[in-house]
Chain A
Amino acid sequence: MKARLTPWKLGTRRLREGAVRIVIVGLFIMFVLVPLYWVIVTSIKPSKDYLTVPPVWFPAEPTLVHYTAALFSYRGLQGLINSLIISSAATLLSAVLGTMMAYSLARFRTGGQHLAFWVLSQRFLPPVAIVLPIFLLFRGWGLYDTHIGLILAYTFMTLPLSVWMMYAYFRQLPKSLEDAALVDGLSRWQAFRLVAVPLAAPGIAAAAVFIFISVWTEFFFALILTSRYAFTLPTIFRAFLGFQGAQYGEACALATTSLVPSIVLGMLVQRHLVRGLTLGALRG
Chain B
Amino acid sequence: MVQLAPADILPPPGAGRSSRLVSAFADRYFKWLMIAPAAILILALSIYPLLFSLWVNFVNYDFQIPGHDFVGLQNFLQVIQDPLASSALVLTILLSLTVVAIEFVLGLALALAMVRTFRGRGIVMSLLVMPLFISPVIVGQSWALFLQRPFGPADYLLGQLVGHPVNISWVGEVPWVYIAIVIADVWQWTPFMFVILLAGLAAIPQHLYEAAELDGIGGLQTFVHITLPQLAPIITLALTFRLLDAVKLFDIIFMLTGGGPGTATYTASFYLYQIGFQQFHLSIATAGSWIFLILLSVVIMVLVRRLLRVEAA
Determine whether A and B are in direct contact in the complex, meaning some CB atoms lie less than 8 angstroms apart: yes
A contact set with B: CB distance below 8 Å: 2-4, 13, 20-21, 24-25, 28-29, 31-36, 38-39, 42, 50-55, 57, 97-98, 100-101, 103-105, 107-108, 110-111, 113, 115-117, 119-122, 124-130, 132-137, 152-153, 155-156, 159, 163, 168, 185-189, 192, 213, 216-220, 223-224, 233-234, 237, 240-243, 248, 251-252, 255, 258-259, 262-263, 265-267, 270, 273-274, 277-278, 281-284
Tell which of B1-9, B78-86, B288-296 binds the partner: B288-296
State the B residues within 8 Å of A (CB): 12-14, 23, 26-27, 30-32, 34-35, 37-39, 41-42, 44-46, 48-50, 52-53, 56, 61, 106, 109-110, 113-114, 116, 124-138, 141-146, 148, 150-153, 156-157, 187, 190-192, 195-196, 199-200, 216, 219, 234, 237, 241, 244-245, 247-248, 250-251, 254-255, 258, 268-269, 272-273, 276-277, 282, 285-286, 289-290, 292-293, 296-297, 300, 304-305, 307-308, 310-311
Count chain B CB atoms within 10 A of each CB in A129, A132, A152, A155 and give the residue with the most: A129
B142 touching A36, Cβ below 8 Å: yes
- Can you report 19 A-B residue pairs in the complex whose CB atoms are below 8 A from each other? A25-B128, A31-B187, A39-B145, A55-B156, A124-B244, A132-B56, A133-B48, A136-B49, A136-B52, A156-B46, A163-B38, A185-B12, A188-B27, A220-B250, A223-B254, A266-B130, A273-B132, A277-B192, A278-B196
Establish whether residues B35 and A218, one from each chain, have CB atoms under 8 Å apart when the complex forms.
no
Establish whether residues A189 and B30, one from each chain, have CB atoms under 8 Å apart when the complex forms. Answer: yes
Q: A28-B106, A217-B134, A220-B250 are in contact. Are A156 and B146 (CB under 8 A)?
A: no
Residue of A nearest to B114 (CB): A25
Contact B13 A185 (CB under 8 A): yes
Contact partner, A55, options B30, B151, B255, Cβ 8 Å: B151
Bound-state Cα–Cα, A188 to B33, Å: 11
Q: A110–B35 contact, CB under 8 A? A: yes
Complex Cα distance A270/B121, Å? 13
Say whether B110 contacts A24, CB under 8 Å.
Answer: yes
Complex Cα gap A110–B31 (Å): 7
Q: How far is the CA of A281 from the CA of B133 in the complex (A)?
A: 20
